[in-house]
Amino acid sequence: MTGTGRAGTAAPIAVGDQAPDFSLKDNHGRTVRLADFRGGAAGHDGEGAGDSYLDGKNVVLVFYPFAFTGVCAGELGALRDALPAFVNDDTQLLAVSTDSIHTLRIFAEQEGLEYPLLSDFWPHGQTSRAYGIFDEDKGCALRGTFVIDRTGIVRWSVVNALPDARDLDQYVKALAAL
């Protein structure tokens, strides 16, 4: 990546770029790949996907610094409370932090989060770095959100500093524009 973003980070990937693929474990130890949500992606077993999978799904990819922190719990709780807008036949919500899968499992249970929490724990921050939002000084992701279309192209993004919560209504507008 070229350029720099906030101190200690590379520049975030741009709208119009191909979203970097990843393979991460979720809070239940299952492997989740971004490529599995692309239309016609090879290697998908089709389990539970229904007919909409043939067209793929848009992905709302939400990076957050750490589980069990006030702003993160508030943001992820707001997504939980509006879940039908983010997990449906057309869209899949994926939340990523550098916490371990064990931490994420307990956090999801405590907060009632029923969408995948993905662990970017090891190699530490590799996916966050690929998206240009890893804060090297703090060792965690910034608050970055990327709306990715069914072909894997970033169509909308926002990156906030660690203490600054995001407005999920912006995600809904970005999805509606696809």
The dihedral of CA 36, 38, 12, 141: what is its sign?
negative
Q: Report the chain's C-alpha Rg in angstroms.
A: 15
**Token reading at 71:** 């702003």
**Token reading at 160:** 């906030």
Quote the CA–CA distance of 45 and 66 in Å, as a whole number. 32
The residues, any chain, with a CB within 8 Å of residue 157's CB and separated by 6 or more, are: 12, 13, 14, 15, 144, 145, 146, 147
Determine how many CB atoms are found less than 10 A away from the CB of residue 22: 19
User: Cβ distance 152 to 35 under 8 Å?
Assistant: yes
Q: Which residue has the tokens 């240009």?
A: 132
- Chain centroid to CA 172: 15
Question: Active-site positions?
Answer: 72
